[in-house]
Amino acid sequence: MSREPDEVSVADEELIAAATQVIDRNGDGQMHTVGAALRDERGVIHVGVNLFHFTGGPCAELVVLGAARAAGAREPRTIVAVGDAGRGVLSPCGRDRQVFADQHPDLRVIVPTEHGPVVVRAVDLLPHAYRVPAGPVQRLRFRAGHLDAVRDGSKRITMRFHDPVHVGPALLVFELDEEVQLPGRITSTVAKKVTAVTEQEARADGFLSSAHVLPLLRDYYPDLQPDDEIVIVQFEVD
């Protein structure tokens, strides 16, 4: 069911300003005519501009999604596009809407109305979108000793290295003699270097401190190095 649009917040206004600035500074009125800005899960703002070409050059929204990913963003939260020459906030095209719906259905998208910009969910921009048939549910594997903590809710974070996961439904699998599976969902993934793990994140995953993260994770990943990037995974049990 679609939701009613939300009013833009102060943070959303900042995002609109960032998109406006990037196209005002870099637009040429020909190939580069739209700027986009995206805020990620860390609150970092990324910007990009379109590249028009008759073969289908990328829209600014797709450029900024790629740029944000390259800069370490893993969960785009809000996106907006702004036209050059004072055109203001623009609605995403059909291709962008399909990409949003497929890749980031809960992405907040700032769109124009006759009364000013509002915020809608990406999935609501394309209510009858084509959906790729669902494949096998991803599995998030744990050692048997974590089962009780996951069941009682005291463990809701895990750290992974070279173990691809994504936000969405998941089976939480525990490696006992008789495998135990709990239906759940991965709610967020944040990539960072081992040395950047905070004390709070370390304790949430059961470590005594951040200093214990590297030596104890090496029990799972012997080749892990201090500058390697791990993924902090937050999950829920259904």
pLDDT in tens, 50-109: 999 878 889 999 999 999 999 999 889 999 999 999 999 999 999 999 899 888 888 999
Question: In this structure, are 150 and 106 located in the same domain?
Answer: no
* Per-residue pLDDT band at 135 (split at 50, 70, 90): low
Active site amino acids: 61
Number of domains in the chain: 2
pLDDT at 211: 94
At residue 122, what are phi and psi to the nearest 5 degrees? -55, -40
Residue 4 pLDDT > 90: no
* Per-residue pLDDT band at 161 (split at 50, 70, 90): very high
**Residue 28's domain is classified under what CATH number?**
3.40.140.10
65 within a domain of the structure (yes/no): yes
Residues 207, 149: contact at Cβ < 8 Å?
Answer: no
* Per-residue pLDDT band at 202 (split at 50, 70, 90): very high
Length of the chain: 238
Residue 3 pLDDT > 80: no
Residue 189 pLDDT > 80: yes
Residue 144 pLDDT > 80: yes
1 within a domain of the structure (yes/no): no
pLDDT at 238: 84
139 CA to centre of own chain: 19
131 within a domain of the structure (yes/no): no
Of 125, 151, 182, the residue at which a domain comes to its end is 125
**Residue 208's domain is classified under what CATH number?**
2.30.130.30
The mean of the pLDDT values for the chain is 91
Question: In this structure, are 55 and 94 located in the same domain?
Answer: yes
Question: In this structure, are 59 and 147 located in the same domain?
Answer: no
Residue 136 pLDDT > 90: no
Domain hosting 161: range is: 138-237
Residue 131 pLDDT > 90: no
Candidate from 44-48, 100-104, 180-184 with smallest mean pLDDT: 100-104
132 within a domain of the structure (yes/no): no
Residue 133 pLDDT > 70: no
14 compared with 6, residue with greater pLDDT: 14
Of 125, 147, 170, the residue at which a domain comes to its end is 125
Residue 177 pLDDT > 90: no
d(CA 28, CA 12): 25
The answer for residues whose C-beta is within 8 angstroms of residue 64's C-beta and 6 or more apart is 36, 37, 38, 46, 47, 48, 79
